[in-house]
Chain A
């Protein structure tokens, strides 16, 4: 199972919006609505930000939103804040009790 494809890095200024893409295949992203997104600050455990493509766990600001079109999922962060600077990973169920992550995207808030 190959990793999902994410851009290595994205950047934005405070207050702006950024979108991180996550490309897969019809076996994973395209075939299941089980895409999740995680935020990871250096040296910390990942934190769930989005599940089931577009749902936000309690406590996650509504500045974070998720969507999917075909084999590509996206995470949009609006109203960027300095604390949003972190690595972001997508993850998808890939069938037959396998899960696959994206390679990760480093978000820089300029």
Chain B
């Protein structure tokens, strides 16, 4: 069974940092690109970042480029999102998602990031 189990969310002050993790199981993690998608409270879904199978290619939505870093450890079957210089507008539920056949076929349970002083 494919599972994506997320951890690392929480409360952080504006300007602070946080690292999200997404532990994968039930499939060959290194075969799939992985993405992060977020959803602000009461709002729609937004693509945040993507990473290639080997981690060599990383991509970001303009609003987080330079502040967020996506990475993966294929030996640990884990995806990460290092978030820095956090702003109020970054507050959201963050989902990791497996990217397959040009779509997000499996999603993590989501983790809430609250940015507030």
| Interface residue SS majority, chain A | strand
Which residues 41-74 in B have Cβ within 8 Å of A in the complex? Answer: 44-47, 50, 57, 59, 61-62
**Is B105 an interface residue, CB under 8 A from the partner?**
yes
Number of interface residues of A (CB under 8 A): 25
Chain B residues with CB below 8 A from A64, complex form: none
Distance (whole angstroms) from the CB of B102 to the closest CB of chain A: 4
The answer on a CB contact under 8 Å between B47 and A100 is: yes
Chain B residues with CB below 8 A from A65, complex form: none
Chain B residues with CB below 8 A from A36, complex form: 102-104
| Interface residue SS majority, chain B | strand
The answer on a CB contact under 8 Å between A48 and B105 is: yes
**Is B109 an interface residue, CB under 8 A from the partner?**
yes
Number of interface residues of B (CB under 8 A): 21
Distance (whole angstroms) from the CB of B58 to the closest CB of chain A: 9
Q: Tell me the bound Cα distance from A3 to B40 in angstroms.
A: 14
The answer on a CB contact under 8 Å between B44 and A57 is: no
Chain B residues with CB below 8 A from A104, complex form: 44-45
Chain B residues with CB below 8 A from A3, complex form: 44
Q: Tell me the bound Cα distance from A7 to B41 in angstroms.
A: 19
Which residues 80-107 in A have Cβ within 8 Å of B in the complex? Answer: 89, 91, 93, 97-104
**Is A15 an interface residue, CB under 8 A from the partner?**
no
The answer on a CB contact under 8 Å between A38 and B110 is: no
Chain B residues with CB below 8 A from A91, complex form: 45, 47, 103-104
The answer on a CB contact under 8 Å between B47 and A46 is: no
The answer on a CB contact under 8 Å between B46 and A101 is: yes
The answer on a CB contact under 8 Å between B47 and A99 is: yes
**Chain A positions near chain B (C-beta within 8 angstroms):** 1, 3, 34, 36, 38, 40, 45-48, 51-52, 55, 57, 89, 91, 93, 97-104
A to B CB contacts below 8 Å, 5 in the list: A45-B109, A46-B37, A100-B47, A101-B46, A104-B45
In addition to A36-B102, A38-B45, A46-B37, 7 A-B residue pairs with Cβ atoms within 8 Å of each other are A36-B104, A45-B108, A51-B103, A52-B103, A55-B101, A57-B105, A102-B44
